[in-house]
Amino acid sequence: MQEIKFNKSMIAEAKEWAEDLGSIKNSITKGGGNYAGRLGELALAKHLSVSELQDNSGYDLIFNDKKIEVKTKRRATRPKNSYTVNVAKTSRHQKPDYYAFLSLEYADRDSGGNYSDLQHIWLCGYKSQVDFFDSAEFWPKGTLDPPYFKTHTDMYVMKIGELDDRL
């Protein structure tokens, strides 16, 4: 796992993009995670020195001729190897070569699920699309992801410790 840099410009761009986009099809949070997703994409693109995001329904960016789909989770703690990453069943139409899993770490999360005070962005790891679905566990909607989270939709799940450090 590696911390990656972000800045105020990325935050502003992600907020504007998320507001303009609104609710999106197949979104687990009905568009509520647009900002986090976009910030993850922007931070990873800068980290990999990719100059342009694709905004393609099947992947987010291209690095070394590999199509990468970025999956970002918000958390109120630094991610651990035992924590999970996921791809929703409704995202099976995407055909990236690789998934990149990121976590936004916030100082606080209130009882309503609102996060505040972004502290860090973590690149948790990568997994090829083929390897991910070969080894991920299927969790139906409502499955408990301890200690508090319940899945909002059917999803495929893997532990951070099972991800690859490199593409």
pLDDT confidence of residue 22: 57
pLDDT confidence of residue 28: 44
pLDDT confidence of residue 3: 97
How confident is the prediction along the chain (167 residues), in pLDDT tens digits per residue?
A: 999 999 999 999 999 988 887 545 444 444 457 889 999 999 999 999 999 998 888 999 999 999 999 999 999 999 999 999 999 999 999 999 999 999 999 998 887 778 888 999 999 999 999 999 999 999 999 999 877 788 989 999 999 999 999 99
Residue ranges per structural domain of the chain:
2-162
Long-range CB pairs of 77-83, under 8 A, 24+ apart, other chains included? 77/105, 78/105, 78/120, 78/122, 79/1, 79/103, 79/105, 79/122, 79/124, 79/160, 80/160, 81/1, 81/159, 81/160, 81/161, 82/159, 82/160, 82/161, 83/159, 83/160
